[in-house]
Amino acid sequence: MEAQVIFAFSLAIFFFYGAQSATFTFTNNCPYTVWPATLTGAGPQLSSTGFQLASKASSTLNVPAPWSGRFWGRTQCANTNGKFQCATADCGSGQITCNGAGAIPPASLIEFTLAANTGQDFYDVSLVDGFNLPLSVTPQGGSSGCNSTSCSANVNAACPPELQVKGSDGGVIACKSACLAFNQPQYCCTGAYNSPATCPPTKYSKIFKSQCPQAYSYAYDDKTSTFTCTAGANYLITFCP
């Protein structure tokens, strides 16, 4: 009897999580290899937390709903002395898989909350942690809302010197957020600046916003940067759209 109860419970969990899922397709339009990574905030752990994606290649990942978390792309990765490392957006795991670790800023992020049943999915492109490469989200299906969002510009080309991260060849490979660069409350929206009323855009967040109007440029940039789609859609994530 106990085994039957456990089986029934397991079956219920399967239908709750397994029967509802979204297919995420990752496509790399960059002229170089990208290593996508995933981080779960709430919900079941995904089947992959990091993988390699060659230029012009695509890969799919099923994401059960309800779920929330983020995706990003790592660049200039290699195995050095048996340890996997990336020049931008590395997660510090020492492996291709991130195993529950997040991106080390600066990193362009895609943030998702997938709803169950007929609720609304929420998603955004965020440059709050800085920028390392262009990316976009395009819903496929869904019946309400379901607009695409992106940061398709190369923000590195407009990055001011004080925010620049340079590679071994001296070129700019990422652009820090002002919060990361200066660690001051007016840029991080902390302390006395911890509300939308007291933390307006800065000259630095305005640079990000001018390059990528749909993306979060700082913590309270909600009005133009959060997108919704009726649950049940699938999603295309493109690097270098």
CATH number at residue 88: 2.60.110.10
97 within a domain of the structure (yes/no): yes
Q: Where are the beta strands (DSSP E) in 142-217?
A: 149-151, 164-166, 172-175
- How do strand 21-28 and strand 234-239 relate by DSSP bridges? parallel
Q: Hunting for tokens 């990091």 — which residue is that?
A: 50
| Domain of 206, in residue numbers | 21-239
Q: How many domains does the chain have?
A: 1
Over residues 19-75, the pLDDT tens digits come to 489 999 999 999 999 999 999 999 999 999 999 999 999 999 999 999 999 999 999
With respect to residue 109, please indicate whether it lies within any of the assigned structural domains. Answer: yes
Confidence band, pLDDT 50/70/90 cuts, at residue 2? very low
Flag whether 5 is in a domain. no
- Domain membership flag for residue 59: yes
Task: Report yes or no on 14 lying in a domain.
Answer: no
Give domain status of residue 200, yes or no: yes
The percentage of the chain sitting over the pLDDT mark of 90, rounded to a whole number, equals 84
> CB under 8 Å to 168, separation ≥6 — which residues?
87
pLDDT tens by residue, 155-169: 999 999 999 999 999
